[in-house]
Structure 1
Amino acid sequence: MSIFKKIMISFLLITAVFAGAVFLFLQHPTFGKAPVGKRLERIKKSPHYKKDMFDNINYTPQLAEDASMPKVMFRFLFGKNKFAKPAQKFNLNKTNLRNLDPNEDIYVWMGHSSYFIQIEGKKILVDPVFSGNASPVSFTTKAFEGSDLYSTDDIPDLDYLIITHDHWDHLDYKTVKKLNPKVKTVITGLGTGEHLEYWKYDPKKIIELDWGESFNLGNGFKVYAETARHFSGRTMKRNQAIWASFVFETPQRKIYLGGDSGFDDHFEKIGKKHGGFDLAILELGQYNKDWRYIHMMPEEFLVAAKNLKADHIIPVHNSKFELALHGWKEPLEKISILNEKENLRLITPKIGEKVNWNDDGKVYEKWWESYE
């Protein structure tokens, strides 16, 4: 046998072994499951499902027209921001969620897009990621030191677990699996329920909504699924489940839960439809001009808040994971400066801090300035 043939056989064997390893890796439950059966039949009837995938209402390239994948990859590999991660471990205190006065309305941020809300007696947890990383492997996309304050043991029984979409930094397999016994009802976008059922959630406690749909939760509580400008997917096959923002309506208040979204006219439409909001929780972070259609830039954040007619706004999607090229505290620095002109009620709590968003006299310190 010639040397060339031996090299080719060796190459093919290595390729086959690698392909087999990747295939086996992708079979792990953490990747979830694509919709099938009646769920897939319902998805195919959605006006937002086109050419075998969900799509945004307006044209939304994942990379802007003036960007290219090679350039983006080059910047990620060789253009790292030296301030992308905090130089010091965060020294933060967590609120005891299991010992709250049931009559108080509070918000607690858990870093990035994970947060807890207690409102009018209901306990809600949104997009919890407590496993220490936001990726399918534990050694990448690790939480900043000191930012991962909460574990599933700290979470009380929940009336509602809300999952805005199935990206790794919003839907965490380990966290959601452990929370299952504590969750009465899950609210999520159409298609994401397939992952949850695969992870042993009872289908009877999963509410899946398409954009524009709503569900009456009883006793004056209602949830609406509204548009977001983003995408979804836990594997190479994207957009099999819809990404959404949610409006949580109580007998007395309306809260907007923004999920991930680039800026568009949907904020104004949602604001008009619901007549404004007592509180809007919007993403601010992991942005870049190269993917500006799927993540808001700081300059757009306050415009979105005004379009939503929000009385109070809280920025999330920052201060826990490095998913972009900007400095870790740049989002909070920029929005604080931009808001000096707008003077909106911008709430910027520490991770773990208990927030009464109705207390307009409360001054929130610029906690990020204490860290490099």
Structure 2
Amino acid sequence: MKILKKILKRILLTIGSLTILLVIGYIVFVNFYPAFGGDVSDKLKATYEGSDNFRDGIFVNKKEVPEDHSFLETLQIARKFFFTEVPNGIPNENIEVQKVDSANVADYQGKTRLIWFGHSTFLLQMEGKTILIDPMFGEVPAPHPWLGNERFSEKLPIEVEKLPSIDAVILSHDHYDHLDHKTILKLKDKVSRFYTPLAVGVHLKAWGVEESRIVELDWWDIVNFGGLQFICTPAQHFSGRKLNNRQSTLWSSWVIRSVSESIFFSGDSGYGPHFKEIGDVYGPFDLAMLECGQYNESWPDVHMFPEETAQAGIDLRAKKIMPIHWGAFKLALHAWTDPVERVTKKANELQIPITIPEIGEPIFLKEDSSENNWWWRKE
């Protein structure tokens, strides 16, 4: 009996020691590794007290959504994610992309066009302005390469180093698949203005972007930019780049308007009444880029299922929708083509036009150039 007690004591001491080491390692990692970004100070929090979206020191959704997963639930989800084999979870082969010439971007003076980089990253050229939306050019959507799956494409349509001067960067929230440390370091000296939801600027400042070039907006705030309007609009999601700063920054969707054209970008969002509200105020839209991927029954309130994506297009009064948040990374347990197959079927049922360009293929708002390519079936 005494021997058994000694063994149990040693086991408990070993587990305790390992736990302490892991906690210390985590604290050191998140406080000194720059990819985690900045922290919102108490002084800065005080400036957000006037926002309807800020309550008890954190940002909140308009609709009540389930509370965050517990630490144990998070571990269970992580275990399932890393160890569950998903049929067709990633492409069998590298996804080829259409290349974009740097001179063509720098000298472009044509009609409004968008170039998709996979997932939720876009290059938008509109009214003579060059804009990046949620620029994530990294290989892995995680703070460290060991912590995520690699991009489905070995190459990008254009490397970030070859991009010309950028008039504006628009960010929807601070998650790694939308806001990438290394990308910002490469971009920051060629960008005139960064537009973000409230508090997201803390990360940019931590990475060396001057405060004078950062404009933070609350939901429904409007800013004019060289003949364009950027409108920060609601989304149903969450934020945080580490375990102890969840909900510390705001998340959003965006409306981008010129005198004659209007675009909606969903960022990340679960389905909710905010889509109809935005559509009633700012619709119809020439194009709505809508989240359609990385969904799971464990988090139905913060990511849309494909059928909801199509319905959101109806709610927004979009003339055409484009599914985004897929085609680049594995962040859920569905087949990589499941989002686009399901949303296409539902869009056809609802009779809403849908465009699904190849990565790197130019999209022109009022042209029907890529609806029936079915490129993802050709790998």
Do both share a fold (TM > 0.5)?
Answer: yes
Counterpart CA distance in 2 for 1:321 and 1:280 is: 21
Aligned to 1:354: 362
Paired residue type of 1:46 = S
Q: In terms of mean alpha carbon deviation, does 168-177 or 356-365 score higher? A: 356-365
Say if 1:177 and 1:95 are closer, same or farther in 2 by CA, change over 3 A.
same
For residues 26-79 of structure 1, give each alpha carbon's deviation from its aligned partner in whole angstroms, at most 9, with x where no partner exists: 121110112226532222321211122111001112679xxx767745643554
Say if 1:41 and 1:305 are closer, same or farther in 2 by CA, change over 3 A.
same
Say if 1:98 and 1:165 are closer, same or farther in 2 by CA, change over 3 A.
farther
1:44 is the counterpart of 2:49:
yes
Aligned to 2:115: 108
Counterpart CA distance in 2 for 1:336 and 1:274 is: 25
The structural deviation recorded for 1:95 is 2.0
1:247 is the counterpart of 2:232:
no
Counterpart CA distance in 1 for 2:25 and 2:272 is: 41
Say if 1:70 and 1:198 are closer, same or farther in 2 by CA, change over 3 A.
closer
Same amino acid, percent of matched pairs: 32
Question: Which one of the candidate residues 293, 297, 311 is aligned to 2:305?
Answer: 297
Counterpart CA distance in 2 for 1:11 and 1:338 is: 51
- SS of 2:322's partner is strand
Contact 2:96–2:153 (8 Å) recurs in 1: no
For residues 320-342 of structure 1, give each alpha carbon's deviation from its aligned partner in whole angstroms, at most 9, with x where no partner exists: 11001110011111122222223
Gaps of 5+ in 1: none
Aligned to 2:26: 22
Question: Which one of the candidate residues 331, 337, 362 is aligned to 2:339?
Answer: 331
The structural deviation recorded for 1:19 is 2.7
The structural deviation recorded for 1:80 is 2.6
Q: In terms of mean alpha carbon deviation, does 3-12 or 182-191 score higher? A: 3-12
Paired residue type of 1:276 = P
For residues 274-327 of structure 1, give each alpha carbon's deviation from its aligned partner in whole angstroms, at most 9, with x where no partner exists: 132122111110012221111111111111101111112111100111001110
Paired residue type of 2:219 = W
Contact 1:63–1:293 (8 Å) recurs in 2: no
Q: In terms of mean alpha carbon deviation, does 293-302 or 163-172 score higher? A: 293-302
Aligned to 2:97: 92
Misfit runs of 4+, over 6 Å: 2-9
1:60 is the counterpart of 2:60:
no
The structural deviation recorded for 1:7 is 6.6
- SS of 1:104's partner is coil
Say if 1:150 and 1:24 are closer, same or farther in 2 by CA, change over 3 A.
farther
Counterpart CA distance in 2 for 1:13 and 1:298 is: 45
Counterpart CA distance in 2 for 1:196 and 1:362 is: 35
Say if 1:364 and 1:17 are closer, same or farther in 2 by CA, change over 3 A.
same
Counterpart CA distance in 1 for 2:52 and 2:14 is: 49
Contact 1:133–1:143 (8 Å) recurs in 2: yes
Aligned to 2:267: 259
Contact 2:193–2:214 (8 Å) recurs in 1: yes
For residues 107-162 of structure 1, give each alpha carbon's deviation from its aligned partner in whole angstroms, at most 9, with x where no partner exists: 11001111111111111101111120000111222211436444211322111101
Counterpart CA distance in 2 for 1:78 and 1:37 is: 39
Gaps of 5+ in 2: none
Say if 1:364 and 1:184 are closer, same or farther in 2 by CA, change over 3 A.
farther
Contact 1:131–1:175 (8 Å) recurs in 2: yes
Q: In terms of mean alpha carbon deviation, does 257-266 or 272-281 score higher? A: 272-281
1:226 is the counterpart of 2:233:
yes
Contact 1:247–1:254 (8 Å) recurs in 2: yes
Aligned to 1:117: 124
Counterpart CA distance in 1 for 2:372 and 2:155 is: 18
The structural deviation recorded for 1:248 is 1.2
Contact 2:99–2:156 (8 Å) recurs in 1: no
Counterpart CA distance in 1 for 2:370 and 2:307 is: 25
Residues 127-276 of structure 1: pairs in structure 2 closer than 5 A: 127-139=134-146, 140-146=148-154, 148-217=156-225, 219-236=226-243, 237-276=245-284
Say if 1:109 and 1:357 are closer, same or farther in 2 by CA, change over 3 A.
same
The two structures, once aligned, show a CA RMSD in angstroms of: 2.3
Q: In terms of mean alpha carbon deviation, does 34-43 or 268-277 score higher? A: 34-43
Q: How many residues are paired up? A: 366
Question: Which one of the candidate residues 269, 282, 285 is aligned to 2:290?
Answer: 282
Paired residue type of 2:221 = E
Contact 1:115–1:126 (8 Å) recurs in 2: yes
Aligned to 2:38: 33
